[in-house]
Each structure stands twice: as C-alpha cells, then as structure tokens.
Amino acid sequence: MRAVTWQGKRDVRVETVPDPTIEHPTDAIIKVTSTAICGSDLHLYEVLGPYMTAGDVLGHEPMGIVEEVGSAVTNIGVGDRVVIPFNIACGSCWMCDHDLMSQCETTQVHEHGTGAALLGFSKLYGQVAGGQAEYLRVPQAQFGPIPVPDGPVDERFLFLSDVLPTAWQGVEYAAIPDDGIVAVFGLGPIGQMSSRIARHRGARVIAIDNVPERLELARRHGIETIDERDVEHVGEALRDLTGGRGPDSAIDAVGMEAHGSPVAAAAQAATGLLPDGVARKMMEKVGVDRLSALLSCIDAVRRGGTVSILGVYGGMTDPLPMMQMFDKQVSLRMGQANVKRWIDDLMPLVTDDADPLGVEDLASHRLPLDDAPWAYEAFQKKKDGAIKMVLQP
C-alpha cells in the first residue's frame, strides 16, 4: 500500500510499504477514506526527529471502512464506517475506567515513561504505524473505533479522531465560569475548534494569532480576535477588552513551537544538529520549548483564573514564572485528550445537519495521499491559506 513516511527533518515521502495485517485478536484493519495532518505532526516534522526512525508511517487522525477484524473484536464489523481515536486505549484498565484514556495502563510506553501509545507518533508513544496510508492496523479495536452513520461527508466526523475531543477537553479544563470570558491563543485547527466550542457553550471568546486567514476564519464563526501584529502587548490588549481584569480562562492551543521565543528556537535548532541519542538527552535535560504562548496565557489570565494547555510541550526543565503563577493563584490543567471521554458530548453536534460547530468549514485543503509532502510543507509554512489539510487516499 501507499503510506506517508517520515524520512528526516522536514522530509516526508509517500512510499510503498507492506499492507498491515491482524497481529492480535484485538486488532482491526480499516481502509482509510480520509486522514488529516495535525499540528502535532509538525512537531515530528521539525523538532522531534530524534525520536523518529526513517520509514515510520505518520498520521493519527484517520477514518474509514472496516476491512477485517480480529477474533476478539465484536463491537464493529466488516463494512462499518468508523473514526479512529489518536490515542490507543484498552477501555478496561483503571485509567480507562476513570476516563483517562490517554493514560491507558495497557498501552503506556514504559520504555520512555510516557502515557498511552498513540498512532503514528514516534518512539515516545510506542512507534505504532500511523493512519496517513491506504490501510491502517487499529490496535485495541475492541474499544477504540467510533462508529458513525453513513450519509454525510467524511469531514462531518473526521475530527472526532482528535481535533474535536481535544478542543472539548481544553474547554472543559479551562473551567470557564457561566457567562465567563476565555482567551484562546493560537488559531490553528485546535484553537479554531476550542473557540467555537467555548462560544457554543456560552462563553465570550477572544482568540489571538497573527495569520490573517486564520483570524478571518475565526471571525466568520463569531469569534472576537486580536491580531498580534496590531498590539504591542497581548496581555494588555486582553485586559483592555475585559475591564482591566483579564479573561477568566486562557487556552494555549499553540505548544512548543510558538513564535516569539528566539532563545528556545535556537536551542531547538541546535538539538536538530546533534546525533539522535545526544539530542534526546538534551531535550530531556534542558528547556527546549518555545514558551511565548504559555507565558502569555499566564500573564493574561485574571487572578484566580485557569490556564488550560492543549499545545504539546516536550522539554523537561522549562523555566516558568512560578512567583507570578503562585501570586496570581493560577490553576493549570493540561494533557493529551482522552478522546472517547468526550464522544457522547460531541456526537449529537456532529450528527446535527445544522452543523453547529461548523466542522465542514475547517479543512482548507483536500488532497490525494501522494500530495502529502507538499501538504506538510504548506501547513508548516502556512502558505496557500493552509489551515487544516485532509488527505484522501
């Protein structure tokens, strides 16, 4: 089959690889019909290379049609239309029972001390072959796959794999009070959907980015925006818009590659030049994250407010302003989305033909699998109006 493979920093190629087969009774094979590229894939493309091996199949946002199931898989059958969560969870361990599927004790990656294995996401998360491919082996298929109805286009459901549950969890964790105000930093797909979900749930939303078409997309969905290029200081601008106090909550939908962090950017570039083993040690021992978005969240949120971190961070000793965080009495929540925890909340919204979250107005590009190298580059460089890239194998 054809699959998108990681080959090196900023180098992905579509190659012919062996078709996946059932390896465990709990596996299923799906024929992929749509599969998206995520901001998390960009971290693999740019800074997490030391954890990748040339030839790794990328992708963790797939959906498709069930081709084959293992003997222990009874919840889905051949021909079913399913969306696959990005985290691989068993559904029956202590963590899964407590709705913490991203910490599943059956699939945790002990070698790296990390949580649940993820599709297509480096050695840190189990080096499982991903879903930007014609076919995908789905581990733990007795629990993971989300059946969806036939009829509507793929994009109505595709974002249940990651973007929607991630954004939903980000809004939950932001603990926005009734009639409260939330600032959303970053208007990539995750920030777009966090903004729409918070607004749908009654909050006033002010979103921040500096990419014109992303700001425009947010405004089209009724979101107030701040173009970073227009203000000297984002925190001050947010206080000006909120009676001087600041928003009740802030969501970081940016992560480790934020712009405006020149020192950490240099550290990231430097680790990219080191041999993998040395680079991994450096990433594990020193602060290599670009923290500007997180620092803005901490600065902007009102005293006693909550910062909800969706953006992925990877440094082990990032310097944070502990005095400011303690003095302001800031609550912090973060983590990978527990995808299946939020599906019951989201399903009524994505099956509603009125499309209340506008899921059919998120993808900027729909492309054949073979165009993946261009799609990664355009998405990373934000060229050609790239906001969300959907590949159709």
Ligand X SMILES: NC(=O)c1ccc[n+]([C@@H]2O[C@H](COP(=O)([O-])OP(=O)(O)OC[C@H]3O[C@@H](n4cnc5c(N)ncnc54)[C@H](O)[C@@H]3O)[C@@H](O)[C@H]2O)c1
Q: Does 40 bind Zn ion (CB under 5 A)?
A: yes
Paired tokens of 5: 């493979």
359 binds, among ligand X, Zn ion, none (CB under 5 to 8 A by kind): none
Q: CB 161 → ligand X: shortest distance, Å? A: 10
User: What single string gives the DSSP state of each residue in 240-305?
Assistant: HHTTTT--SEEEE---TB-SS-HHHHHHHHHHTTS-HHHHHHHHHHS---B-HHHHHHHHHSPTT-
In this chain, which of 63, 187, 198, 291 binds ligand X, going by CB under 6 A? 187
- Our separate counts of H helices and E strands in the chain read 12, 15
Q: Interhelix angle for 372-381 vs 39-46, to 10°?
A: 100
If residue 39 lies in a helix (H) or strand (E), which one and from where to where?
A: helix 39-46
Site mask, ligand X, residues 36-65, x = CB under 6 A? Answer: --xxx-xx----------------------
56 binds, among ligand X, Zn ion, none (CB under 5 to 8 A by kind): none
Paired tokens of 207: 């979103």
Site mask, ligand X, residues 286-305, x = CB under 6 A? Answer: ------xx------------
**Which stretch in 216-224, 266-274, 306-314, 352-360 sits in contact with ligand X by CB under 6 A?**
306-314
Whether 63 and 81 have beta carbons less than 8 Å apart is answered as: yes
The CA distance from 13 to 16, in Å, is 10
336 binds, among ligand X, Zn ion, none (CB under 5 to 8 A by kind): ligand X
Q: Which of residues 330-349 bind ligand X (CB under 6 A)?
A: 336-337
- For residues 43 and 340, which CB has a smaller minimum distance to ligand X in the complex? 43
Site mask, ligand X, residues 244-273, x = CB under 6 A? Answer: ---------xxx--xxx-------------
140 binds, among Zn ion, ligand X, none (CB under 5 to 8 A by kind): none
Whether 9 and 45 have beta carbons less than 8 Å apart is answered as: yes
CA distances from 291 to 81, 85, 156, 166, 246 (A): 40, 28, 33, 20, 20
Q: Does 158 bind Zn ion (CB under 5 A)?
A: no
The CA distance from 167 to 302, in Å, is 21
Q: CB 324 → Zn ion: shortest distance, Å? A: 31
- For residues 300 and 339, which CB has a smaller minimum distance to Zn ion in the complex? 339
Paired tokens of 272: 């990219």
Length of the chain in terms of residues written? 393
Binding residues for Zn ion (CB under 5 A): 38, 40, 89-90, 93, 96, 104, 106, 162
Binding residues for ligand X (CB under 6 A): 38-40, 42-43, 162, 166, 185-191, 208-211, 214, 253-255, 258-260, 292-293, 310-312, 336-337
